[in-house]
Amino acid sequence: MQSGQIRLNKVTREWVIYAPSRRKRPQDFQQSHRPKQSLITRDTKCPFCPGNEHISEFIVLEIPNQNHDGWQTRILSNKFPALTPNENTRRWIDGIYLAMPGYGQHEVIVESPNHNDDIATMPIEAVEMVIETYHKRYIELMAWHENMMGIIFRNHGAKAGASLIHPHSQFIVTGIVPQHIRWQEQEAQQYYDHWGRCVYCDILEFEMQNRRRVVGENLSFLAYIPFAAEVPFEIWIMPKDHQADFGSISDRQKSDFAAILKEVLGKLYEKLNDPDYNYVINTAARYKAEEPQVHWYCQIQPKLITEAGFEMGSGININPSIPEADADFLNE
């Protein structure tokens, strides 16, 4: 791509500006400030490390390791929760405004007993246990009538919002569905009503044939850099079978999801020297789980650039990196 280009995100119908004049080489995004791995396997001050239960919050769930001589994954109630289950979902009027209590649940998924572990470098069996823990708790919480939406996400590194090094993810369940989610559902619904097909399935079919942006694949999943990626090295991992709800995945899919997640995070770890990133599992809101137009996926966004005034004012991202070049770099 020699000149500038603006691409339309087929899912959100948002535009993304690509500015080759601001472009860096893919290797220029490598993080040079961070050692690849801490040598500390236990930290006496870390609330997630074994033996420090006195400084951690309430243990919600614990899954044992293969030897059954300790835990492999653990879910804790968040010490500083964004939402709490002790509230309700009743709305009230405050003058001309609408409000409701801060109902929901906010939990921490500790991915390993080892302080210096990481999904990119863990044994595959350990990553499979992380996905199993995600799925088990998702099924449990989304069975509650009050819980309308569940978001599983991971903040890796300070730029991504992580306050603790110990490998962990978070799960927030809300009693509302935000407009951002409803808007994406509506866009998918309009596409389905017009074409009679799922927009995500159409994207999958094209990317599997085109292959210019594919960075990983197995029997159940495809990983690719979106045509209209918002940031450098953004990656989507999507089930090949149409599936609206993360809770619907089979045991085989859980293993395949663990494998491809480890693979693509491993590529970022090796090629970009373990960059800060966020990932989120985007799944159907409650009562949309069987819809033919909704398709769950995992979205990974490395924190390699900083949004500025134009992005804030317009809602349009400027990406200095080209998706096809990013894919080539990760596949080298």
pLDDT tens digits for 116-140? 999 999 999 999 999 999 999 999 9
* Structure confidence at residue 208 (pLDDT): 97
Domains plus CATH for the chain?
A: 5-331 (3.30.428.10)
**Of 94, 87, 195, which Cα lies nearest the Cα of 146?**
87
> Quick one: pLDDT at residue 22?
60
Q: Among the listed ranges 35-44, 66-75, 300-309, which one has the minimum average pLDDT value? A: 35-44
Q: Quote the pLDDT of residue 171.
A: 96
pTM across the whole model = 0.91
- The per-residue pLDDT of the chain, averaged, comes to 90
Q: For residue 239, what pLDDT band results from cuts at 50, 70 and 90?
A: very high
Query: Is 156 assigned a ligand-binding role in the annotation?
Result: no
168 among known catalytic residues: yes
- pLDDT per residue over 201-221, tens digit each? 999 999 999 999 999 999 999
The answer on whether 198 is annotated among ligand-binding residues is no
Alpha helices in 196-280, H assignment, sequence order: 199-210, 251-271
Q: Tell me: is residue 201 an annotated ligand-binding position.
A: no
CA 64 to chain centre: 25
| Average confidence (pLDDT) over 75-81 | 91
Q: Exactly one of 106, 135, 168, 295 is catalytic; which is it?
A: 168
Residues forming beta bridges with residue 106, ordered by sequence position: 172
